[in-house]
Amino acid sequence: MNKTFLRTSLYALIGLVLLFSIAFIGSVIKISNSKAYTFAKQYINTNEKVISRIGDVEKFGMFPTGSLDLGKNEVGENEVQIETKVFGKLGKANIVLVLTKVSSTWKVNEFYFKELK
């Protein structure tokens, strides 16, 4: 193989990695600063299932993910999905919440909890 091809391929690969990294970081920042994520953290902090399984919440994972626009549900409300890792005094878990905003109040439609070892 010639050097020009290898160099071009390497630059293209580096460019793709940078592009995906920037997109991921932007998504994390957007979710972390959203009102939906603030509500999700408050909900998780006070949820009895979470407290009974992993203890009081000590911190949340650094990289929340999800979607701030899943589209409209069957009633016409916009849905969002928040996924985060939660660390408690007794263990840790991955938690997924599907939320809708009714008027100015957030409502939990679905709650998924997976305890981690």
Q: What is the CATH number of the domain that holds 60?
A: 3.10.450
| Residue 72 within any structural domain of the chain | yes
**Containing structural domain, residue 107:** 34-116
Q: Which pLDDT score, from 0 to 100, does residue 77 have?
A: 74
| Residue 67 within any structural domain of the chain | yes
> Which residue reads 């949340």 in tokens?
60
Number of domains forming the structure of the chain:
1
pLDDT, tens digit (0-9, with 9 covering 90-100), for 46-104: 999 999 999 999 999 999 998 887 666 666 678 899 999 999 999 999 999 999 987 77
| Residue 28 within any structural domain of the chain | no
Q: What angle do CA 83, 89, 108 make, to 5 degrees?
A: 30
What is the spatial distance between Cα 55 and Cα 92, in angstroms, rounded to a whole number?
9
**Residue 101 near residue 69 (C-beta atoms within 8 A):** no
Parallel, antiparallel, or unpaired for β 105-116 and 65-67? Answer: unpaired
Neighbours of 98 (CB within 10 A): 19
| Residue 8 within any structural domain of the chain | no
Rg (CA), the chain: 19
Q: 0.75 cut: is pTM over it?
A: yes
